Structure 1
């Protein structure tokens, strides 16, 4: 029959607290994995949906959806922004953004043309954009996150176009243009004939859903290990038998 030593109150409290913390961290990782899975599913569904008029979602886009929209406007071809952040370092290139002026609207719509591969330390050769009004289709997406921005507004200190930044902040872009922007950007539909490449807007290369699940398993394992260690430390050892001759 297994016998146990009476544990101190602080050891019970410490064990319960540690196990609860590890379980909570594991559940959080599972929640993050589910969230990223849902992003992928919603994006895939939106990419093949029929476009809706931009005006229906322009000012108040749905928080949990990425509508595919149709919009008409004119390019501000002399106001180009190049996003050159660490996400592009492995391939070499920039994400190209150009404002679109809508008829009779003071607000501008920032359009993501796509990723333009460029050799390192070379200025990108930007394809020309048509003059006059154009009809565009694409996904109305949240702007890329700015992360931890250091050094302040990089756009204000540049006098020539195109302007380059490692973060894309719509507030800074609006200030730079002197006109308000819509709260999201238009990511154009992929065009096989264009030099621009359309990539998945959610970069999971560093933390895909599968890695979140692996971390969840790790945290749950720590919770089990804490309980096992507690039981082992408080199990009474049977006295050794000694032979008497």
Structure 2
């Protein structure tokens, strides 16, 4: 009678090595997914930049209290009124187009012929000291800019909070344009949006950022990093397997 010999399973396909293979596969797949996620973020950033450029190319929409915010967010708008200078705030942690640290000055604009106001991000200043009074404008103005949605605080315990400094009765420096929160210290009802003022040719301060100064962020470099890490893990693991196969 002929006896059939069943070849022994290689040790790389048994026991603890199976767990190692699965772990390496999970790590490799995760790195690849992260790389494609960053590429997707890059496409989203490019789409947002294209939408902003398209908005800048369009004629400005007159902004009134009756305007539906959903129809103007991300669009170019124009509005006339008088600044409520005493209720100005600053956005901390902002940089100029040249990379200098500073703040942005935000002032409510009382809309002409209306009880409503709208927050206007007027641009960059090198310091918050005396911003509300040093850059007060008392004459009627016409502001042109990009309408933006309120920047609400993320629902996370790690998100920074806007709080008054010791001795202050109001919050003068904010992390974001949180319109509902800022409303509590403004004496006029605010529209549920804010305006990023566009440069008007004035080279003084506050200095609105260059609206055409757009970038794609670090997403491409992050994607390349994740794919590089995936390559290192994949090649490294194959070399480990080759070394193990050659062992006797």
TM-score with structure 1 setting the length: 0.74
State the Cα deviation string for residues 39-77 of structure 1 (Å, max 9, x = none): 3332233223211122499443359x6100122333223
> Which stretch of structure 1 is more off in the superposition, 228-237 or 121-130?
121-130
Aligned to 1:50, what secondary structure does the other structure show? coil
Segments of structure 2 that go 5 or more residues without pairing to the other structure are 1-9
In structure 1, what is the equivalent of residue 237 of structure 2?
230
| Greater helix share, structure number | 2
Where structure 1 has 5 or more consecutive residues not aligned to the other structure, the ranges are 240-245
Q: Name the CA shift for 1:122/1:93 in 2 (closer, same or farther; >3 Å).
A: same
Task: Give the Cα–Cα distance (whole angstroms) in 2 for the partners of residues 41 and 97 of structure 1.
Answer: 26
2:164 equivalent in structure 1: 154
Task: Name the structure 2 match of 1:28.
Answer: 37
Does residue 73 in structure 1 map to residue 81 in structure 2? yes
Q: CA RMSD in A?
A: 3.5
| CA apart distance, 1:237 | 1.7
State the Cα deviation string for residues 121-141 of structure 1 (Å, max 9, x = none): 853462342345x43221112
The alignment partner of 2:81 has SS state of: strand
- TM, length-normalised to structure 2: 0.73
1:140 aligns with one of 147, 151, 154? 147
Residues 65 and 191 in structure 2, CA contact (< 8 A), matched pair in contact too = no
Higher RCO (C-alpha under 8 Å, 6+ residues apart): 1
Secondary structure at the aligned position of 1:66 is classed as: coil
